[in-house]
Chains A and B, each alone.
Chain A
Amino acid sequence: MSEIAKDKASRFLKKRGSMSSVNSPDIKMKEIYGRAKDSTSTVSYVDEPSHRDDASHLAVQMENTYQLGPSKCFPVDAVKHILKDVLTNYLQEEKYEPELCRQMTKTIAEVVKARVKDLMIPRYKLVVIIHIGQLNNQSLHIGSRCLWDDANDTFASFTFRNTSLFALATVYAVYLE
């Protein structure tokens, strides 16, 4: 066979390796409720990764691993410990202040995500949600429901309180089949 034909054949047979190009996009959403006198001004921004359009063209095809379940279980207790650690360290002595808490929520979300990633649980996607609010004798309810595979997917959450603020951190772990 000629060299050109051989090249073509080898290119055909080259399988796409199972690279999981799971880039870690930081989709941060943040909402502030202003405290003007009689009106509520609300500001919200969403930071999205700018390469979103390109990403849809580069959908990665992964090979089958024929794996039925996760090789390593998601360690809920370790994650809860991380949440407790991070929240306590960052917020123990803080008073509620709009600017500070704005930065804090973003920072804490990033830190928690990084630490849970460090646990290196393969094939799990993470969603970290942080709420920080002022304690003012007001009432607040937060609920969540998920549609997923109960056997493999799970969540961990922790609430922290001090004299002037409260913080709720939740980590959802979703297995990638």
Chain B
Amino acid sequence: MEEYQPHHDEIGFNADEAHNIVKECIDAILGGVDYNQNNVNQWIAAIVEQSLTHLVKLGKTHKYIVTCAVMQKSGSGLHTASSCFWDTTSDGTCTIRWEN
């Protein structure tokens, strides 16, 4: 009987690849647009969906969580922090900051 052995993630989570993929998605959707209250929901949905689709195409045995925050530049401050409890050999994180 053949046993299915999912091969172990050689390098765990490839953050660079993910970084490039998501950055391209953001550039494509938000490149050159101004903040518009009506469109923000659409933008966020599009960014997140496209990123997820492209990440899935990598074919890795990973679950993905993609979060996107879009804020108007008005001089106010925003802080974000994250704390994760996982297996460092197979899991990782990647953050992209983008502004226009």
A→B interface (CB under 8 Å): 20-33, 35, 40, 42, 44, 46, 49, 52, 55-56, 58-61, 96, 98, 101-102, 104-106, 108-110, 112-113, 117, 125-149, 153, 170, 172, 174, 176
> Can you report 20 A-B residue pairs in the complex whose CB atoms are below 8 A from each other?
A26-B83, A31-B80, A33-B78, A59-B89, A59-B90, A104-B79, A112-B83, A125-B84, A127-B82, A128-B84, A130-B81, A139-B72, A140-B69, A140-B72, A141-B71, A142-B68, A144-B48, A144-B67, A147-B64, A148-B63
| B9 (CB) vs chain A CBs: closest residue | A59
Most-contacted residue by chain A among B12, B37, B45, B88 (CB, 10 A): B88
Given contacts A141-B70, A143-B68, contact A33 B82 (CB under 8 A): no
- Supposing A35-B75, A44-B97, A125-B87 touch, asked if A143 and B81 sit within 8 A by C-beta, the answer is no
Per the CB 8 Å criterion, the residue count for chain B at the interface is 48
